[in-house]
A and B are shown apart, each in its own frame.
Chain A
Amino acid sequence: DSGVTQTPKHLITATGQRVTLRCSPRSGDLSVYWYQQSLDQGLQFLIQYYNGEERAKGNILERFSAQQFPDLHSELNLSSLELGDSALYFCASSVDSGQPQHFGDGTRLSIL
């Protein structure tokens, strides 16, 4: 058990819809990362938050947004969903940037 909790585990929705993925980091970790894993793109870094503030951005689409709340949990919002957004979305946390990250079990998103 990594200590990182992601909900829900599975999500099935339709094109054009909006979903919210939730992540609770390991106790004591201030940094949260979001990743998208698909067969064709591999594991892609989306965005990082540190203690409530955005720290770094990767390949995150404009239709996607995230935030980290005062209790350090984070949410990833995906809107105007397309078939190509079907993927496994991971949240990871670490004590600080550049330190080993511990991953949640992921949310598998299927767009029909």
Chain B
Amino acid sequence: AQKITQTQPGMFVQEKEAVTLDCTYDTSDQSYGLFWYKQPSSGEMIFLIYQGSYDEQNATEGRYSLNFQKARKSANLVISASQLGDSAMYFCAMSHASGGSYIPTFGRGTSLIVHP
């Protein structure tokens, strides 16, 4: 079964510091996608960053970068220069091929609190 593990239920970081949110995945597929989403206290889910399993380079989107280590099956999210508005739940997700489509699986999330 496909699985996403986020081992950090909660993380704290000082404003302007960098923080790494951990994500490991388990799949025997060769083709899959990895995603990170942010869910603020207001409830909406915001797409942050995507990494394809065949992508050689780590994905980056502004202050977000995905540290993709295929052999270790990890896809950690790095947020640089944290801001107070980064306080939210962060979900790692994977889409894996199944029956002609891609099935999404989400981790349980990490709560990030940014301190001033």
Contacts and interface: CB of A to CB of B under 8 A. Distances in A.
B43 A88 contact: yes
Contacts of B105: 45
B106 interface: yes
Interface in B75-98: 91, 95, 97-98
Size range of the chain B interface in the assembly? 20 to 34
A97 B102 contact: yes
A92 B45 contact: yes
Interface residues of A, number: 24
A103 B107 CA distance: 16
B104 A45 contact: yes
Interface of B: 32-33, 35, 37, 43-47, 50, 91, 95, 97-109
Interface of A: 2, 33, 42-43, 45, 48, 50, 55-56, 58, 88, 90, 92, 97-106, 108
Given A55-B101, A56-B98, A97-B95, 11 more contacts: A2-B46, A42-B109, A55-B100, A56-B99, A56-B103, A90-B45, A98-B97, A101-B47, A102-B47, A103-B44, A103-B47
